[in-house]
Chain A
C-alpha cells in the first residue's frame, strides 16, 4: 500500500527537494504551508514526477485552529501516513534583541506549531501501526550560541519533543527520525557570511529518505556535522561562553 507524506513548511527548498524525491519513488505528498500558489506549483511538479497524489493544503504553524481540515484529509487516505516537518524561522538575533516579542513566532514555527500538529497526528500512526515522522531540527539546537540562541532553543525543544515522540510511537510500529542539518543551500543561508561546506537540498533530501528506510533515530546531514557537533558539544562551558562561533 502506498505512503502519503504530509510535508509541513512545503515551500522551503529542503521540503521541495524532499517532496520531489518522494514523488520519484512513487509516494504521495500533501504540501502544507501558507503560500498556496507556490505549493500548488510544487504539487503539480510532484505529480509529473510520479506522485499518484499531490495536493497543496493550507497550514500556518502559528494558527493550530486551522489544523483540523488537514488531519481530516489525512484520515480519509488509505495506507501509510507519514509526516515531515520543515517549518522554522530564523530572524537575526539582533532583531529579536530589539523586539523580544519575536520569540513567540520563532517558537511557534520551529516547535509549538509542529508539536501540536504531530500530537494530533500521533494517534493515527498508532492506529495504523506504521508511519514515520521526520522532524527537521538543526545543529543550532545542540548548543546555545551568541548568533542565534533563540532559534537554537526552539530547535532544541523540538529535538527533545521528537525524542519523546519516538519513544511513544515506537511501541506501536511507528518511527521518528530527527534530522539535524548543517548549512544547507537555501534562501535562509543565501548570501550569509561565514557559510562553508554548504549542502545541496537534494543531497539532504536523499539522506533523509535513506534514514527513513533504515529507521535511523538521529542523523546529522551532511554526516560530517556529527564530528563538528561532537567537538562543539564538548567544549567546556567556561571556554564556550567566551567563543564567538
Chain B
C-alpha cells in the first residue's frame, strides 16, 4: 500500500498535522494496515481527533459500501467509511432512516461510532452507538466481529472510543422505520433564555433543536428559534443546488457587527407567529451540507467549536455560559441549544441528560482563552465537553468529566497494548495515561 504524506486538519482547520495516509479500497487491504495507525474518515471532527502528527493513519473513505440490508428487520450492514447522508438518501425512499444522524451527512459510520454521536432526536432515541448491533474490527489476522453480547467490554469501549480499540471495518446498524420522503418543520421564535429553555423542555416532537442568537444580550439574552420536525410522506420539494465556498473568506466576514446583523435577519426571517414548512429531509438534518467547504468562511486561521453538556438542574450555570459568550463579541452565527436525554453507549460517550450548547468561534486571539474559561465553567458544573469538537481542553479536566475513563483505559490497553492507535487528541488529553 502506498502512503501519501499530507497536511491534514479537522473541520475547524485551526490545528494542522502532517500525516502519512493510506487509503484502502478493498476490505482485504485492511488486514495489512490494521496495526499501522488509527483510522480516519471525512475528518468532520473539529479539532485533532482525526490527526496523528508525524505518524500514520488509514483513511477509510473508499470503504463505503452498503453490504446487506434486511427490509424486514431494518438491519443494515455497512462498511465503516460510508457516509450517513448517503445511507439516508439510499434507504429513505424505502421507508428507513439511520436511527441517529449527526448534523452533517458527511460523517462516516466509523466516525459516528468512534464519537458516539447524537442528533436532533437524542432526547427520545439516544445516541448513535445505542443502535449499533455489531461491528467488525480489522486485525492483522483478519476481521473480528464483536457484539454487545459476545464482547460486552470491548464493544462498549469501542463505542465513543475515539478509534482506540482498532480500525472499525464495518458495522451492523439498526435503522428505524420511518416514512421519510419529507420533513414537516415548525419554526418558532423564542424571545429570551427562559422561553428558549422552556420551549425545548416542552417540545414533544421527534426531532427538536434550538438555534441560539449568541450575540443577543440583556433582555434578549438566549433568544433564538426552536425547530421541531416530524418526517412524513409527500411530494418532495426541490432541493437547491449545492454550492461551494471557493476560497478562504477575509477576517471581517464573521466580525461582530456582521454577525449581529446576520443574526437579527435570521431571527426575523421566522414570522412572530411561527411557521410550518415542508422540506427535503436533508435540508433539515444536514442544513450546512449544501454549502461545501463552509469552514472556509472562517478564513485561513480556521475556527473552534465549543460544545458542552450540563446536567439538567444547571440552568443558572448554562445561562452564565451563554452570557459569557454573548458579551465576548466573538461568537459566529452558528450556535445551537438542545435538550439531551440520558442515552449513551460507551465509557467516553458525550451525552448526559441535560442541556447541550454548541458555539463556533473564529480562531481570533481572544477565542482560545474564552473557550478555556467556558471549559472550566463546564467542569465546575459537573458537565462535559465533546471530544469531536474540542481542541483546547487539558488532561486534568478529563477524569472529572469522564468518570469511566479508567475502565476504558484498561480495556483499550488490552486491545492495543502498543498504543498504535493513539491520535493527537488522545495524546493531548493523556486519555490513555501519561505518555
B91 at the interface (CB under 8 A from A): yes
Q: Which of B5, B28, B69 has a CB less than 8 Å from the CB of A38?
A: B28
> In the assembled complex, how far is the CB of residue B221 from the closest CB belonging to chain A, in whole angstroms?
45
Chain B 35-89 interface residues, beta-carbon cutoff 8 Å to A? 62, 65-69, 79
Least Cβ–Cβ distance between B86 and chain A, in angstroms: 9
* Complex interface: chain B residues within 8 A of A35 (CB): 26, 28
Closest to B76 in A: A48
Tell me whether B338 is interfacial, beta carbon within 8 Å: no
Q: Given the complex of chains A and B, what is the CA–CA distance between A187 and B65 in angstroms?
A: 17
Expressed in whole angstroms, the minimum distance between the Cβ of B106 and any Cβ of chain A is: 14
Give chain B residues whose Cβ lies under 8 Å from the Cβ of A45: 65-67
| Contact B28 A187, beta carbon cutoff 8 Å | no
Total of A-B residue pairs, C-beta within 8 Å: 44
* Residue total for A at the interface (Cβ-Cβ under 8 A): 18
Give the size of the chain B interface in residues (CB under 8 angstroms): 18
A186 / chain B contacts, CB cutoff of 8 Å: 25
Assess whether B196 is interfacial by the CB under 8 Å rule: no
Q: Does A42 contact B (CB under 8 A)?
A: yes
The answer on a CB contact under 8 Å between A38 and B26 is yes
Whole-angstrom distance between the alpha carbons of A48 and B79 in the complex? 13
- Nearest opposing residue in chain B for A23, CB measure: B90
Contact with A along B11-49 (1 / 0, CB 8 A): 000000000000101111000000000000000000000
CB-CB under 8 A from B90, the residues of chain A are: 48-50
Q: How far is the CB of B262 from chain A (nearest CB, A)?
A: 32
The residue in chain B whose Cβ has the minimal distance to the Cβ of A43 is B65
Chain A residues positioned under 8 Å from B62 (CB to CB): 13
B4 located at the interface, meaning its Cβ lies under 8 Å from any Cβ of chain A in the complex:
yes
Alpha-carbon distance between A13 and B25 when the two chains are bound, in angstroms: 7
Contact A48–B91 (Cβ < 8 Å): yes
Interface residues of A in 131-149 (CB under 8 A from B): none
Please determine whether B79 and A41 come into contact, CB atoms closer than 8 angstroms.
yes
Q: How far is the CA of A192 from the CA of B27 in the complex (A)?
A: 22
B252 lies within 8 A of chain A by Cβ: no
Are B4 and A190 in contact (CB-based, < 8 A)? yes
Q: Nearest-CB distance from A224 to chain B (Å)?
A: 17
B68 smallest CB distance to A (angstroms): 6
Indicate if A75 sits at the interface (CB-CB under 8 A).
Answer: no
Whether the Cβ atoms of A44 and B67 lie closer than 8 Å is yes
Residue of B nearest to A191 (CB): B4
Give the shortest distance, in Å, between B339 (CB) and chain A (any CB): 34
- CB of A87 within 8 A of chain B? no
The minimal Cβ–Cβ distance linking B419 to chain A, given in whole angstroms, is: 25
Asked if A37 contacts B65 (CB within 8 A), the reply is: no
Minimum Cβ distance to chain A for residue B74 (Å): 13
CA of A49 to CA of B69, assembled, Å: 11
Contact A11 B65 (CB under 8 A): no
Q: How far is the CA of A38 from the CA of B30 in the complex (A)?
A: 12
Contact pick for B25, options A48, A187, A191, CB 8 Å: A187
Partner of A44 from the list B3, B23, B66, B91 (CB cut-off 8 Å) is: B66
Bitwise interface map of A from 25 to 37 toward B, beta carbon under 8 Å scored 1, else 0 = 0000000000101
Q: Is B2 an interface residue (CB 8 A)?
A: yes
Question: Chain B residues with Cβ under 8 A from A44's Cβ?
Answer: 65-68
Tell me the minimal C-beta distance from B109 to chain A in angstroms.
13
Which residue of the partner chain B has the closest CB to A13?
B25
CA distance A18 to B351 in the complex (A): 40
A186 to B24, CA, bound (A): 10
Nearest residue (CB) in B for A35 is B26
Q: How far is the CB of A200 from chain B (nearest CB, A)?
A: 11
> Residue of A at shortest CB range from B62?
A13
Residues of chain B contacted by A38 (CB below 8 angstroms): 26-28
Q: How far is the CA of A122 from the CA of B27 in the complex (A)?
A: 34
Q: Considering the chains assembled together, what is the distance between the CA atoms of A41 and B2 in angstroms?
A: 23
* A37–B27 alpha-carbon span in the complex (Å): 9
CB distance from A48 to the nearest CB of B (A): 4
Task: Let me know if A190 and B28 touch, CB within 8 A.
Answer: no
Q: How far is the CA of A54 from the CA of B151 in the complex (A)?
A: 35
Q: Bound state CA distance, A44 and B66, in angstroms?
A: 7
A90 to chain B: closest CB distance in Å? 13
Residues of A1-22 contacting chain B, CB below 8 A: 11, 13, 16
Given contacts A48-B91, A49-B90, A190-B2, contact A11 B66 (CB under 8 A): no
B401 to chain A, nearest CB (A): 39
Central interface residue in B23, B65, B79, by most chain A CB within 10 Å: B65
Cβ contacts under 8 Å, B26 to chain A? 11, 35, 37-38
In angstroms, Cα B90 to Cα A224, docked, is 32
| In the complex, residue of chain B having the shortest beta-carbon distance to the beta carbon of A39 | B26
Assuming A37-B28, A190-B4, is B65 touching A42 (CB within 8 A)? yes
Assembly CA distance A42 to B26 (angstroms): 10
- Residues in B with CB closer than 8 Å to A37 are 26-28
CA distance A38 to B63 in the complex (A): 10
B33 CB, min distance to chain A CBs, angstroms: 13
Judge whether A41 and B65 touch: CB under 8 Å.
yes
- Chain A residue nearest to B26 (CB atoms) is A38
What residue in chain B is nearest A186 (Cβ atoms)?
A: B25
Chain A 100-124 near chain B by CB (<8 Å), digits 1 or 0: 0000000000000000000000000
Which B residues lie within 8 Å of A48 (CB)?
A: 66, 69, 90-91
Cβ contacts under 8 Å, B28 to chain A:
35, 37-38
* Residues on the A chain within 8 Å of B67, using CB: 41, 44-45
Give the distance in Å from the alpha carbon of A186 to the alpha carbon of B4 in the complex.
Answer: 12
A residues at B contact (CB < 8 Å) = 11, 13, 16, 35, 37-38, 41-42, 44-45, 48-50, 186-187, 190-192
A-B contact pairs, 29 of them (CB 8 A): A11-B26, A13-B25, A13-B62, A16-B25, A35-B28, A37-B26, A37-B27, A38-B26, A38-B27, A38-B28, A41-B27, A41-B65, A41-B79, A42-B65, A44-B65, A44-B68, A45-B65, A45-B66, A48-B66, A48-B69, A48-B91, A50-B90, A187-B2, A187-B23, A187-B25, A190-B4, A191-B4, A191-B5, A192-B2
6 additional contacts (CB under 8 A) given A37-B28, A187-B23: A13-B62, A38-B26, A41-B79, A42-B65, A48-B91, A191-B5
